[in-house]
Amino acid sequence: MGFERFEYVFFIGAGGIGMSALARFFKLSGKMVAGYDRTSTPLTQRLSGEGITIFFVDDPSLIPSNFADPSTTLVILTPAVKSDNLIYQYFKNNGFEIVKRSEVLGTITAIYSLIAVAGTHGKTTVSTMVAHILKHSKVGCTAFLGGISKNYGTNFLFSAVSEFAVAEADEFDRSFLRLNPLFAVITSADADHLDIYGTAGEMQEAFSAFACQVKSNGFLLVKKGLNLNLKNVKASKISTYTLDNEESGYFASNIKTDADSASFDLNFEGGIITGLGLGITGLMNVENAVAACALALKAGISEEELRLGLQTFKGINRRFDVQFKSDKIVYIDDYAHHPEEIKALVKSVRSVYSGRKITGIFQPHLFTRTRDFADGFAESLGLLDEVILLDIYPAREKPIEGVTSAMIFDKIENSEKYLCSKNEILAALEQRSFDVLLTIGAGDIDQLVVVIKDWLDSENLKPK
């Protein structure tokens, strides 16, 4: 695969979702694996339990001694790590080979028939669905996922015999241009990461360039309506998909959703497959399933294998993730961190819980994203019945003067809106009533999930 000569692999940013999948791949391949990250998380704890040494202080003296030889140690870097990181500087100044995560993923997947899923949103669900469907078929796959599959409890699946690999094609830092898929889908191309791309037009150009990476004997599936330049695409077959637009190559009809599942008929250029059941709910997940079905069918699965895979799909952590349900209250956690993702989430929740009051707790992710999309966030959050807005989660960024959650808050037209800190959440919830509660965001808002669940459990047990 290009890295055979290395016995040791060190990850700078080991706790990232894409990095951790690669760490698991190398560990399973017989390499010694270690890494650094800024904070301990459930994911890094799982990696440690799998025999991967991880430490959380930016101190080169903590690097295990057997990772100190440049001739035997490969260093993999996430683009989120800053150049002044001391561990990065140590490896850089001592002659180690340092490669980006995207380059490693491109090299590994080059030996497979790659199924790549791109898009500013939807890619984690679609790729995990595809991987699960293939895993439950004779086709099989190896998969590098951007979320933790509830079916498998991991973001990495391995097959020693399948020719197929499934991978998320990440647009951040133009990482997806390292991939050369046989089959690919582009789920969305909304403006995002403008700190990287500068303009929405440049980002769309990058997605168009990714479309041209699909092999000449391959298949490209694109969400209908995306403004992409596909005239130079080499793929022998190009098609479109939507939720229910009959002018698309692939679409759903006879859609039904309830609190736990969904069903639909899959319409495609070769015919129709009726009565498909999906193990999770939400209109956005039905749309994701249409894309996943198209790719899985191209990979050669049978109709019965497709039915089984969809029915047994349990979803992904933090994607329309139902955490609590009682006769009166439903609590859902979701990773949505872009205005269009929030809009799709709220629409899906309303389709399942029609007529009920929806309260959303949102934590903006990144100062630049808040600055660039304050109007869009305000519009999407305004679709909720009640909004509780937290402080911005900075992630890799330093504060920008004048950029705070108030930029969004002041623009939200909903009269039921509140600014709140994380440690005030339970007090805020105790003061209001709600039917459906959402936690929304890509930062550390997930740390509130257990806290809120425990509180709801205790409230549910109180005598009425």
158-185 pLDDT, tens digit each: 999 999 999 999 988 889 999 999 999 9
The answer on 220 and 147 residing in a single domain is: yes
Which residue reads 């349900």 in tokens?
A: 325
Question: What whole-number distance in Å separates Cα of residue 233 and Cα of residue 45?
Answer: 42
What is the number of structural domains in the chain? 3
The answer on 131 and 271 residing in a single domain is: yes
Given 261, 286, 311, which residue is the final one in a domain?
311
Given 100, 121, 153, which residue is the final one in a domain?
100
Question: What H or E segment, with its residue span, contains residue 257?
Answer: strand 251-257
Q: Please report whether residue 2 resides in a domain.
A: no
Domain that holds residue 328: 321-461
Angle (nearest 5°) at CA 223 between 184 and 107: 20
Q: Please report whether residue 36 resides in a domain.
A: yes
The answer on 275 and 143 residing in a single domain is: yes
DSSP 181: -
Given 44, 69, 100, which residue is the final one in a domain?
100
Q: What phi and psi values does residue 64 have, to the nearest 5 degrees? A: -55, 145
The answer on 15 and 150 residing in a single domain is: no
The answer on 57 and 133 residing in a single domain is: no
Mean local confidence (pLDDT), 116-128: 95
pLDDT tier at 196, thresholds 50, 70, 90: confident
The answer on 276 and 144 residing in a single domain is: yes
pTM of the model: 0.92
Helix 17-28 with 101-109: angle, nearest 10 deg:
50
Question: What H or E segment, with its residue span, contains residue 436?
Answer: strand 436-440
Q: Please report whether residue 1 resides in a domain.
A: no
Q: What is the mean pLDDT of the chain?
A: 94
The answer on 271 and 205 residing in a single domain is: yes
Angle (nearest 5°) at CA 54 between 53 and 58: 135
Mean local confidence (pLDDT), 310-317: 97
Q: Please report whether residue 96 resides in a domain.
A: yes
Query: CATH number of the domain that 225 lies in?
Result: 3.40.1190.10
More confident call, 204 vs 415: 204
First and final C-alpha spacing in the chain: 62
Give me 373's structure tokens: 């999309």
Nearest to 457 by CA among 426, 428, 412: 426
pLDDT above 70: residue 462: no
% of residues, the chain, pLDDT over 70: 98
Do residues 237 and 220 touch, judged by C-beta distance below 8 A? yes
Cβ neighbors of 205 (< 8 A, separation 6 or more) are 229
- What confidence tens digit (pLDDT) does each residue in 80-97 have? 888 899 999 999 999 999
Q: Please report whether residue 138 resides in a domain.
A: yes
Residue 396: per-residue pLDDT? 80
Query: CATH number of the domain that 26 lies in?
Result: 3.40.50.720
The answer on 329 and 223 residing in a single domain is: no
C-alpha of 124 from chain center: 4
Which residue reads 């389709």 in tokens?
A: 351
The answer on 256 and 234 residing in a single domain is: yes
The answer on 41 and 134 residing in a single domain is: no
Cβ neighbors of 177 (< 8 A, separation 6 or more) are 102, 206, 209, 210, 213
In Å, what is the CA distance from 85 to each residue of 38, 41, 53, 77?
11, 20, 19, 11
